Chain A
């Protein structure tokens, strides 16, 4: 088992290096000279040329691409993501300041969606074929199909502008977190609900469940001890996917609610053509996904004794 975990750990290294490479490669594809961003707009003619040359020299834009790539890789691995082209502040410092904000929103959304997804999924499976099941499945489908930004605006319209009980956007107390948490939580809970339901149904029809019922185990105990324990095992894996969902969703939701997290930082970088910012924020998100997947895989080894690894 330890061997498996070590192997799994080593396998995530090339993925992260690959993500760094992909980001670097994509930024090379970008049209236009990034160095031009540095030149103050009131510099004209030769003055601007001279400034440009200096910038190219300073940032090493003149070096051959492999040299630039290796330097970028070395810096990135030392958590040096360069400086923002617009603010000149180090990207890693900006990210560090924003991570707590993103975590606050992301963790609460994760808890909401996990609690919702598991509870509703289990309920739907138990009430299979009834109107409760149908209603829950429609509820999940709506969550899966709704554009999160639209849902957010409908809620802002309702609670922020008509009822005036919640602030429409911004960073603040608990009240500011309610709307973004609901949007992020609900839109990612849909997948989880559907997954939990089908995972539970798979178990419900197994022979050992029938045996348990036949030998007179109370329905309550059948569900808790036999169905739930086995049905929720695959869910561990899905929790990792849920994190990825929330990370992706938070990019849009943070932008929409003006929530100063990593997602908003990424979008600001894209809109401002600020490549170090895009690379840094993109890499942070990618690395989180890889690490969470690693974590769930390792967790699964401990939770599910049936899995054997060579």
Chain B
């Protein structure tokens, strides 16, 4: 065990080999062995009922976000003096907020922002983090040392703190928020990919490719990257959950998406002023954030278990 090696996020630990294969006990052994890896993984994943519930919820939320203009019953920004703080009714399914906006429609539009920001930010961050990790692990030497030192520095600002400090400098805006999420994903992905590459590049097939005259880029992207895809997929999924939490936290602190634009974090932050009068203005957006993050975590956990055979290399 090298002490240079980072400790991965404890929540993201890959379970021991015990778990592998239990799920497909009903299949004949060689039938299972003959399947392609992704088919095997899908079987494992499908068996996990929690994950299916999570996936169903995510499909539901994504649908709400994408089709917000159709799904919403009102304009989420239309205020009405006469309809402030109304309880739920046939017209306003979840009632109205302190300036008479339809609360249900605001939550629907909020899904849009939270998911968009979380997915775009994570996708960019995962891509960059993977490239950085690939370079660091493959080239080693001073390149590796330098990159890992920078990653260490980023890691010294835990979670939301780096995001807060960045927003302090750049100012709150949608673009800056995505930028913050990119930097949120880079360090973890870079470390994970680097660790995998370090062990993979010593294996025979990488050596063979090198012997046959494959170029560095070809070995990196054609031989090494596909074999480290499993952990990347798992961590990317979990990073989306983390990004949604960061987005909501920044929105809650008033440093994220700015009102009046609806975002779950800032809707919740707004609702806390009316904790006594209308606690649901705080409870609902928070519950949505919670359920969304939990669903993604469930999917991530199931993916981890399903892809586990790959990770035992």
Contacts and interface: CB of A to CB of B under 8 A. Distances in A.
A173 B7 CA distance: 37
A133 to B, nearest CB: 12
A248 B249 CA distance: 11
A201 interface: yes
A247 B286 contact: no
B75 interface: no
B283 A198 contact: no
Interface in A135-191: 141-142, 144-147, 149-150, 153-154, 156-157, 161, 190-191
Given A18-B153, A149-B249, A27 B268 contact: no
Contacts of A278: 165, 168
B158 A244 contact: yes
Given A153-B286, A195-B13, A248 B161 contact: yes
Given A156-B275, A297-B3, A15 B152 contact: yes
Interface in B288-313: 289-290, 293-294, 297-298, 301
Contacts of A194: 10-11, 13
A156 B283 CA distance: 12
Nearest to A162: B279
A247 B298 CA distance: 26
Nearest to A134: B50
Most-contacted residue by chain A among B7, B252, B287 (CB, 10 A): B7
Interface in A211-239: 234, 237-238
A307 interface: yes
Given A18-B153, A153-B286, A282-B161, A26 B169 contact: yes
Interface in B200-253: 241, 245, 248-249, 252-253
Contacts of B164: 251, 266-267, 270
Nearest to B171: A31
Contact of B10 (A29, A241, A248, A307): A241
Contacts of B283: 154, 157
B198 to A, nearest CB: 17
A65 interface: no
Contact of A252 (B160, B289, B297): B160
B149 A18 contact: yes
Given A147-B249, A201-B16, A271-B254, A248 B160 contact: yes
B168 A30 contact: yes
For chain B, the bracket of interface size reads 35 or more
A123 interface: no
B52 interface: no
Contacts of B276: 161
Interface in A13-51: 14-16, 18-19, 22-23, 26-27, 29-31
Interface of A, helix, strand, loop or mixed by DSSP = helix
A153 to B, nearest CB: 5
B40 to A, nearest CB: 21
Nearest to B248: A147
Given A154-B286, A252-B252, A144 B160 contact: no
B1 interface: yes
Interface string A279-302: 000100111011000000100100
Nearest to A146: B290
A144 B297 contact: yes
Interface in B145-201: 149-150, 152-161, 164-171
Contact of A30 (B170, B253, B268): B170
B10 A145 contact: no
A307 B161 CA distance: 32
Contacts of A19: 153, 156-157
A237 B7 CA distance: 7
Contacts of B108: none
A252 B13 contact: no
B169 A14 contact: no
Contacts of A300: 3
Contact of A282 (B14, B165, B287): B165
Contacts of A157: 275, 279, 282-283
> Which of B156, B170, B293: most chain A CB closer than 10 A?
B156
Contacts of B160: 248, 251-252
A192 interface: yes
Nearest to A17: B153
Contacts of A29: 169-170
Nearest to B249: A252
Contacts of A199: 13
A72 interface: no
Contacts of A106: none
Contact of A270 (B14, B157, B255, B298): B255
A233 to B, nearest CB: 10
B31 interface: no
B286 to A, nearest CB: 3
B152 A18 contact: yes
11 contacts: A18-B152, A19-B156, A30-B169, A141-B294, A145-B297, A157-B283, A191-B9, A198-B14, A248-B158, A248-B160, A289-B155
Interface of A: 4, 8, 14-16, 18-19, 22-23, 26-27, 29-31, 141-142, 144-147, 149-150, 153-154, 156-157, 161, 190-192, 194-195, 198-199, 201-202, 205, 234, 237-238, 240-242, 244-245, 247-248, 251-252, 255, 266-267, 269-271, 273, 275, 278, 282, 285-287, 289-290, 297, 300, 306-307, 309
Q: Which 7 A-B pairs have the closest CB atoms?
A: A150-B286, A195-B10, A145-B294, A18-B153, A244-B158, A248-B159, A26-B169
